[in-house]
């Protein structure tokens, strides 16, 4: 078997080891590549900066642990930003596991900023139904969410005073890993109730939401761990996303190398076959 | 009766949801809100149906002691433990439920999806070939975005992030928008067919 | 308890990663446990966050008897588990499908069709606007399969394919980014929380 054939049929476990190492080594020995902030991230940051203190922000935790490394850091960063600006945060979830992850992010950020549950932030929990839940909230939030996720009636929560429906919120931020998620919030909260909607989503789904950014249906968009790292840069904090950016860079470089090398092997094989046939 | 009633229910529910958009006043607005709440409750029962099905399938595997029945025991123990602990002791941080969520659910779920990194790397080496002009275009866009979207790209050439942003904001937006409009037209026609009873395959088979 | 939790999480992470070598009992154990605890999580949250606040309390404590209707429809849905009476599940299913179709028809038309078309037809005063208009029109031409892709129509569709290829390339790049991020998350946990190699 020639070297080229060996390379073509390389055991995929060698590739697995290479990828593992390209992630592990930069995590242990960070390089510190500079992070550039993209316009879509800056726009969401600016939208939050422009809100007057005391404004209520609705956060929807529509993700689960399978995408936690991407979405949780942006959830945490935006919660920190909101609390540092003295904004009130009301959380809900269209994905059941989003409740626990969102609560963890809110509690961590609240502890840093000295904010209180029930007064400065609340988590109203999970409802199934996706788009229908948003539609119902647009008309009457209290009928849809009569209690918070722990079972406390919302009449007993000071932050919920005066909150009737989506109109009580200055901004909606959706943290999304799929459906229901960003599309549902844009289609109902933005299109029907004219709310400002921003989003943080997995990198897989981000390209599909660029048409919403272009039309202004989304005020800003964070795509994947890189989006979260950019937001952390704007907040001037060293969060979990920033820590992973060197590994992300090197892994991308290695995958690009794999693609180019795979194509080179294909070209050489093709030339050899052509020569033989001549 | 078995066929006609579901068609009538679908028609009435669908039409009311459409009418209330154009006439957001009583009785349609109130009816829509009723329907929203009912939808939420019925969807919860759909989840119970799914759990029931899971218990039924794995219960049968255990009772027949078919291949791998031990794993079905693991599955049901996980299901029962999580349900009982959650219903009995609450679901907030600090509870046994949250402990299980944090230390069992999160590592299992996130590692399961992290495996995909290895497979996408392997596929990049074996399958991502520039065999035609179109494939080369796809490859070039992928490489530019992959480099331009990470700090390394910024380090190599400071304009690379702007190139990636341009690709995302213009050609990508155009392509995604064409797909989006195509899907929207498909959803609109399917919805009309469902509401008018032309599309009957969604009623739950031939039962 | 925290240390024990970290060890459990680390072992389960390694069980799943062992699949990279080959399928094995440790992976199968972890896989089934994953399905079980996920379903159990769903049960607990459905009970605490939906059945109690949205059904039990308003129906039995506040006397909103209209909720008997979704309760009955919900029970009919669950009856699908029993083949003899399973047909009754078509009623609640018909309701769910009807509501979804009604909402989708309007929302997709409004935000994913009309707004998108309107924003595509912007004045051609920037190069970006021209690129978007050409990309959307040619892309839609490619999706029109009722006419054979020949002549001018075929060439227009071909340009549409080029735009779609760039779109798919961008999506591939983002998919790689997503998958690597998930791996970074797990590796960070193992190196930091478990082994303590990262401070």
Tell me the domain boundaries of chain B. 1-64, 131-200
d(CA A148, CA B119): 41
Higher-confidence residue: C105 or B202?
Answer: C105
Task: Give pLDDT, residue A3.
Answer: 80
The Cα of B129 is separated from the nearest Cα of chain C by a number of Å equal to: 12
pLDDT for res B206: 46
DSSP string, B147-198: HHTSHHHHHH-TTHHHHHHHHIIIIIHHHHHHHHHHHHHHHHHHHHHHHTT-
Show residues of chain B in contact with C74, CB under 8 Å.
Answer: 41-42, 44-45, 48
CA distance C140 to A245: 37
Do A109 and A91 touch, CB atoms closer than 8 A? no
| Interface predicted TM-score (ipTM) | 0.92
The overall average pLDDT reported for chain C is 95
DSSP B101: I
Helix (H/G/I), strand (E/B), else coil: B66? coil
Of all residues in chain B, the one with the smallest CA distance to A252 is: B146
Q: Binning pLDDT at 50, 70 and 90, where does residue B207 land? A: very low
Residues of C in contact with B135 (CB under 8 A): 165
pLDDT band for position C170 (50/70/90)? very high
C-alpha distance from C14 to closest chain B C-alpha (Å): 9
Query: What is the 3-state secondary structure of chain C?
Result: CHHHHHHHHHHHHHHHHHHHCCCCHHHHHHHHHHHHHHHHHHHHHHHHHHHHHHHHHHHHHCCCHHHHHHHHHHHHHHHHHCCCCHHHHHHHHHHHHHHHHHHHHHHHHHHHHHHHHHHHCCCCCCHHHHHHHHHHHHHHHHHCCCCCCCHHHHHHHHHHHHHHHHHHHHHHHHHHHHHHHHHHHHHHHHHHHHCCCCC
- Classified as helix, coil or strand, B68 is coil
Angle between helix C90-107 and helix A131-139 axes, rounded to 10 deg: 70
Question: Is the Cβ–Cβ distance between A96 and A62 less than 8 Å?
Answer: no
Q: Return the sign of the alpha-carbon dihedral for residues C63, C65, C70, C75.
A: positive
Whether the CB-CB separation of C48 and A99 falls below 8 Å is answered with no
Reply yes or no on whether the pLDDT at C91 is more than 50. yes
Q: Supply the pLDDT for residue C1.
A: 58
Dmax (CA) for chain A in angstroms is 85
Find the closest chain A residue to C128 by CA distance: A214
Which neighbouring-strand residues pair with A98? none
The answer to whether the beta carbons of residues B174 and C132 sit under 8 Å apart is yes
Please check whether residue B36 is in contact with residue A134, taking contact to mean a CB–CB distance below 8 angstroms: no
Mark yes or no for CB contact B87/C140 under 8 Å: no
Chain B partners of A20 at a C-beta cutoff of 8 Å? Answer: 118
Cβ atoms of A205 and A177 closer than 8 Å:
yes
Tell me if B104 sits within 8 A of C37, measured CB to CB.
Answer: yes
C-chain CB neighbours of A208 within 8 Å are 171
pLDDT tens per residue, range C48-79: 999 999 999 999 999 999 999 999 999 999 99
Q: What is the pLDDT of residue A269?
A: 86
Tens-place pLDDT, residues B144-161? 999 999 999 999 999 999
pLDDT digits (tens, 9 = 90+) for B18-68: 998 898 888 888 888 899 999 999 999 999 999 999 999 999 999 999 999
Q: How far apart are CA A48 and CA A52, in angstroms?
A: 9
**Mean pLDDT of the region C34-54:** 96
Which residues of chain A neighbour B40 with C-beta distances below 8 Å?
127-129, 132-133, 136, 144
Residues of chain A positioned with their CB less than 8 A from the CB of B106: 65, 68
Strand stretches in B2-91, DSSP E:
none
| Nearest Cα residue in chain C from B83 | C40
Q: pLDDT digits over A97-138, tens only?
A: 999 999 999 999 999 999 999 999 999 999 999 999 999 999
User: Which stretches of chain A score pLDDT less than 50?
Assistant: none
Contacts of B73 (CB under 8 A, 6+ apart): B62
Arithmetic mean of pLDDT, B92-114: 96
Angle, alpha carbons A36-A41-A45 (nearest 5°): 115
Query: Is residue B172 over pLDDT 50?
Result: yes
pLDDT of res. C147? 86
CA distance A170 to chain B (A): 23
Output the pLDDT for position A198.
98
Q: What is the pLDDT of residue B205?
A: 46
Q: Does B150 touch chain C (CB under 8 A)?
A: yes
Of B140, A73, A67, nearest to C173 (Cα)? B140
Domain ranges across chain C: 125-199
> Chains that contact C by 3+ CB pairs under 8 Å?
A, B
Pick from C46, C101, C170: CB nearest B167:
C170
- Tens-digit pLDDT profile for residues A27-37: 999 998 999 99
Residue of B nearest to A104 (CA): B93
Say which residues have a Cβ less than 8 Å from residue C10's Cβ, sequence separation at least 6.
B107, C189, C190, C193, C194
Q: Residues A144-165: pLDDT tens digits? A: 999 999 999 999 999 999 999 9
């Amino acid at each position: 078997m020639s070297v080229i054939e060996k390379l073509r049929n390389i055991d995929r476990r060698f590739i697995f080891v290479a990828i593992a190492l390209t992630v592990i080594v930069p995590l242990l020995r960070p390089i510190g590549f500079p992070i550039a902030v993209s316009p879509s991230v800056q726009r969401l940051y600016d939208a939050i900066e422009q809100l007057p203190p005391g404004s209520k922000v609705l956060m929807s935790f529509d993700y689960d642990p399978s995408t936690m490394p991407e979405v949780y850091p942006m959830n945490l960063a935006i919660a920190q930003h909101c609390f540092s600006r003295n904004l009130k945060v009301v959380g809900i979830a269209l994905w059941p596991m989003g409740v626990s992850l969102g609560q963890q992010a809110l509690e961590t950020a609240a502890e840093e900023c000295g904010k209180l549950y029930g007064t400065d932030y609340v988590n109203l929990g999970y409802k199934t139904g996706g788009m229908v839940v948003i539609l119902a909230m647009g008309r009457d939030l209290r009928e849809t969410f009569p209690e918070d996720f722990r079972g406390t009636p919302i009449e007993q929560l000071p932050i919920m005073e005066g909150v009737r429906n989506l109109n009580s919120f200055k901004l909606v931020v959706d943290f999304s890993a799929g459906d229901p998620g960003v599309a549902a919030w844009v289609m109902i909260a933005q299109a029907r109730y004219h709310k400002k909607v921003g989003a943080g989503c997995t990198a897989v789904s981000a390209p599909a939401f660029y048409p919403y950014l272009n039309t202004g249906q989304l005020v800003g968009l964070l795509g994947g761990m890189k989006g979260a790292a950019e937001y952390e840069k704007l907040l001037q904090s060293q969060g979990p996303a920033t820590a992973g950016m060197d590994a992300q860079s090197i892994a991308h470089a290695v995958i690009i190398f794999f693609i180019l090398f795979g194509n080179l092997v294909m070209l050489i094989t093709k030339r050899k076959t052509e020569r033989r046939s001549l | 009766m078995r066929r006609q009633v579901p068609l009538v229910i679908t028609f009435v529910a669908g039409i009311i949801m459409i009418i209330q958009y154009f006439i957001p006043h009583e009785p349609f607005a109130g009816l829509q809100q009723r329907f929203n709440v009912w939808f939420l409750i019925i969807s919860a029962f759909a989840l119970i149906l799914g759990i029931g099905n899971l218990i039924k399938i794995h219960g049968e595997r255990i009772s027949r002691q078919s291949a791998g029945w031990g794993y079905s025991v693991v599955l049901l123990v996980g299901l029962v433990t999580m349900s009982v602990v959650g219903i009995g002791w609450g679901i907030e941080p600090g509870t046994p439920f949250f402990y299980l969520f944090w230390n069992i659910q999160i590592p299992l779920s996130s590692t399961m999806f992290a495996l995909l990194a290895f497979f996408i790397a392997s596929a990049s080496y074996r399958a991502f070939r520039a065999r035609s002009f179109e494939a080369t275009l796809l490859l070039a866009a992928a490489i530019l975005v992959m480099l331009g979207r990470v700090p390394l790209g910024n380090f190599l050439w400071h304009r690379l992030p702007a190139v990636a942003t341009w690709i995302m904001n213009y050609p990508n937006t155009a392509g995604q928008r064409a797909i989006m409009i195509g899907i929207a037209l498909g959803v609109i026609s399917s919805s009309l067919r469902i509401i008018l009873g032309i599309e009957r395959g969604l009623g739950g088979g031939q039962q | 308890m925290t240390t024990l939790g970290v060890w459990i999480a680390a072992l389960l992470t390694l069980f799943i990663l062992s699949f990279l070598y080959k399928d094995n009992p440790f992976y199968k154990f972890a896989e089934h446990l994953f399905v079980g605890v996920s379903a159990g999580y769903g049960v607990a949250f459905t009970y605490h966050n939906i059945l109690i606040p949205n059904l039990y309390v308003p129906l039995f404590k506040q006397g909103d008897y209209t909720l008997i209707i979704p309760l009955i429809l919900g029970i009919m849905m669950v009856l699908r588990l029993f083949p003899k009476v399973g047909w009754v599940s078509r009623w609640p299913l018909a309701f769910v499908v009807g509501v979804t179709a009604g909402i989708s028809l309007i929302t997709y038309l409004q935000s994913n069709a009309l707004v998108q078309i309107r924003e595509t037809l912007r004045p051609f005063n920037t190069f970006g606007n021209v690129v978007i208009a050409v990309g959307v029109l040619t892309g839609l031409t490619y999706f029109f399969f009722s006419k054979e892709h020949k002549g001018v129509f075929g060439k227009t569709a071909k340009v549409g394919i080029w735009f779609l290829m760039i779109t798919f390339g961008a999506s591939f790049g983002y998919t790689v980014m997503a998958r690597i991020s998930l791996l970074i998350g797990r590796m960070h946990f193992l190196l930091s929380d478990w082994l303590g190699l990262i401070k």
